[in-house]
Amino acid sequence: MHGQVASWNVHDRDSFMAWYRRMAPQWLVIEYVARENQGEGWSVIEEMWDKHNAQITLEVVVTIINGNEAAVHHRNRIVGTDIAIESIETYRFESGGLLVRYFLLPPPDNQVNLNQFRGLAST
């Protein structure tokens, strides 16, 4: 859990993707809760990196790991601003795979164009 955050924050795409490949060698599902048209897990994680790594720094508020599941609260800080997108993320590690679910809380007063974020875009 900590390796992916460290890789994200130092902008090391190869390392970030390697963490996911280790955790999910056979399959990866990523869901933005309450959103349709999620897409295949690997394409979602690659799109997330390509669109947002340069503009978002992750701050870990809390990580709770119980058995093969984890829940985290991340503060997704938009670089150069005081704006953050809060996320609660759940991870369920299964044989050969990983299910990730993102619950995103937009910043107050729509201070950022939310349409650029898959999990916050209007339906």
CATH number of the domain within which 59 lies? 3.10.450.50
Burial tier of 74 (Cβ tally within 10 Å: 0-12, 13-18, 19+)? buried
Q: Is residue 88 part of a domain?
A: yes
Q: Is residue 53 part of a domain?
A: yes
Contacts of 91 (CB under 8 A, 6+ apart): 1, 69, 70, 71, 72, 98, 99, 100
Q: Is residue 11 part of a domain?
A: yes
Enter the pTM of the model.
0.85
Q: Is residue 121 part of a domain?
A: no
Q: In total, how many domains does the chain have? A: 1
Q: Is residue 122 part of a domain?
A: no
Contact status, residue 114 vs residue 105, Cβ threshold 8 Å:
no
Q: Is residue 70 part of a domain?
A: yes
Containing structural domain, residue 19: 2-116
- Residues 84-122: tens digit of each pLDDT: 999 999 999 999 999 999 998 888 776 666 555 555 544
Instruction: pLDDT band for 1, please (50, 70, 90 cuts).
Output: confident
Q: Is residue 123 part of a domain?
A: no
Q: Is residue 20 part of a domain?
A: yes
The 10 Å Cβ neighbour count of residue 65 is 12
CA distance 66 to 55: 31
- Residues 43-74: tens digit of each pLDDT: 999 999 999 999 999 999 999 999 999 999 99
